[in-house]
Structure 1
């Protein structure tokens, strides 16, 4: 479905390269498993069913986990007005709108398609942001919807989940002596399968995190171009990050598993190794991109 969100060819190329590398890792993984344990049909079917359920019910799962509810136009007229205006500007159908009763200022988008999409904001975000900053954040989230990011991330994560399940399945099987009774290589094969699975899981984890960071940069850029005011999103990111930093860590840990959804992670991306493991680019990287974009738009 076409819309007016401008493509970012550089970031698209980076995401395509990451997906290609994931594909190479997964092909090597399947080849190694076929060589080592001959049949993976049952495991693939199980994982496929789990990933399909995650994809198909992603909107319901996210809303339930974050205690959010879909609201009507009468309940949140300000929020609906912003979403509908931005959707008209982007020439895309308006998603459902939800609110989570959380003090942590944040927002996320989920849903397997534009027709099932949900854009959710927390009550903490609505209290803290100015109308212009809210525009910037919601344009960012609508970019995720327009670019089908839930589909991209679910597809990319499939064999990473499979690798983790294979490692556990092999370990439990060896503990109960399943392979010894059937023959087929015994303990060395168990070790080989677990080593390959662990390696694939680690590599795919890093690549998926890199893909998530590219996805956030692309959404920042597309959302800022849609509003024509990169400074509004930059101001919102600074405000949200500063407010999150003042929330006690113990109160943020419950929300940390949902970092990949949020516009700003519950725990910010640091430097070095922590930056490689983060779902989001550093705040500095995002602000630098928005500053460069502001100069481009003014030229």
Structure 2
């Protein structure tokens, strides 16, 4: 159901993108937006991993440099029947982790020095299992494309609001309805992007628990990471554009009172409850 939901939301996001293009430039605008969408997909497919890793100054490590971490990732990748991903460490006190890469053969997992200190071996295996589930399900690419499409919709709508649009259809359109859509489309795109991200987090929790062998490992890890996030430990270099990639939202402590509709991640307590139920066989 999560996979079907994601597909439907991506189709809806693409429809909004093409519609906004039509408002700005008629049929020609729709084609431009379609080409922009294809260009974004190509860019995110090939370069998203290197861009994000550089953004956070992640350092690749070898087996010799981080034997326990490297060995854990290697064992979990074997459990998930995945190629061995590259392993990175981010010099950051906040406990967090993410995965990136265009496909399982070009994947990377990154952990902060803070999470390596805060979690024990089993808890870290739960986190890394979750990240490898994202790799296996190709969620990194899905999330990146959704974020970029939502951004283009927002910028195009702002352009329309300031400079107006032109339709090449003889019948024209309702200007009031068009203006309403210009303001509502970015909101709808943002909500859809967040819903896609939350759906993929639930799926990665479930599959990651199976990869590490015990859903309680991940549940325990989430409790600890959430504690740090809610007590003033936000990542110094985190950006909203990459928030969906992390094990929990790096802005949890700042935006914890916001509506769940605008969150990249499900409520952590709900995730933990689901994992506990999974561990109990329910």
TM range (shorter): 0.7 to 0.9
- Match for residue 240 of structure 1? 225
Q: Give the RMSD, CA atoms, in angstroms.
A: 3.0
Report the CA distance between 1:199 and its aligned residue.
Answer: 2.1
- Match for residue 137 of structure 1? 127
| CA distance in 2 between partners of 1:158 and 1:259 (Å) | 13
- Match for residue 269 of structure 2? 284
Aligned partners of 1:160 and 1:201 also within 8 Å: yes
Deviations 1:21-44 (A, max 9, x none): 4355446545x438x634224455
Aligned partners of 1:140 and 1:224 also within 8 Å: yes
- Match for residue 255 of structure 1? 238
- Match for residue 106 of structure 1? 96
Residue 216 (structure 2) pairs with residue 226 (structure 1): no
Deviations 1:196-239 (A, max 9, x none): 33322211210110110110011001011222211111110001
| CA distance in 1 between partners of 2:92 and 2:236 (Å) | 13
Report the CA distance between 1:259 and its aligned residue.
Answer: 1.7
| CA distance in 2 between partners of 1:145 and 1:28 (Å) | 32
- Match for residue 16 of structure 1? 7
- Match for residue 150 of structure 1? 140
- Match for residue 55 of structure 1? 45
Moved more, 36-45 or 70-79: 36-45
TM-score (normalizing by structure 1): 0.81
Deviations 1:78-101 (A, max 9, x none): 111001101111111111100100
- Match for residue 63 of structure 2? 73
Q: When the two structures are aligned, how many residues end up with a matched partner? A: 275
Return closer, same or farther for 1:157/1:262 CA change in 2, 3 Å cut-off: closer
For residue 204 of structure 1, the aligned residue among 171, 175, 189 is 189
Report the CA distance between 1:138 and its aligned residue.
Answer: 0.3
Deviations 1:159-190 (A, max 9, x none): 4233223224335545xxx97xxxx99xx96x
Return closer, same or farther for 1:161/1:55 CA change in 2, 3 Å cut-off: farther
| CA distance in 1 between partners of 2:162 and 2:97 (Å) | 39
Structure 2 unaligned residues grouped into runs of 5+: none
Return closer, same or farther for 1:163/1:20 CA change in 2, 3 Å cut-off: closer
- Match for residue 151 of structure 2? 161
| CA distance in 2 between partners of 1:44 and 1:68 (Å) | 33
Answer with 1 or 2: which has the greater Rg.
1
Structure 1 unaligned residues grouped into runs of 5+: 1-9
| CA distance in 2 between partners of 1:20 and 1:55 (Å) | 18
Residue 250 (structure 2) pairs with residue 266 (structure 1): yes
For residue 39 of structure 1, the aligned residue among 6, 17, 28 is 28
Residue 111 (structure 2) pairs with residue 127 (structure 1): no
List structure 1 runs of 4+ shifted beyond 6 angstroms: none
Aligned partners of 1:143 and 1:223 also within 8 Å: yes
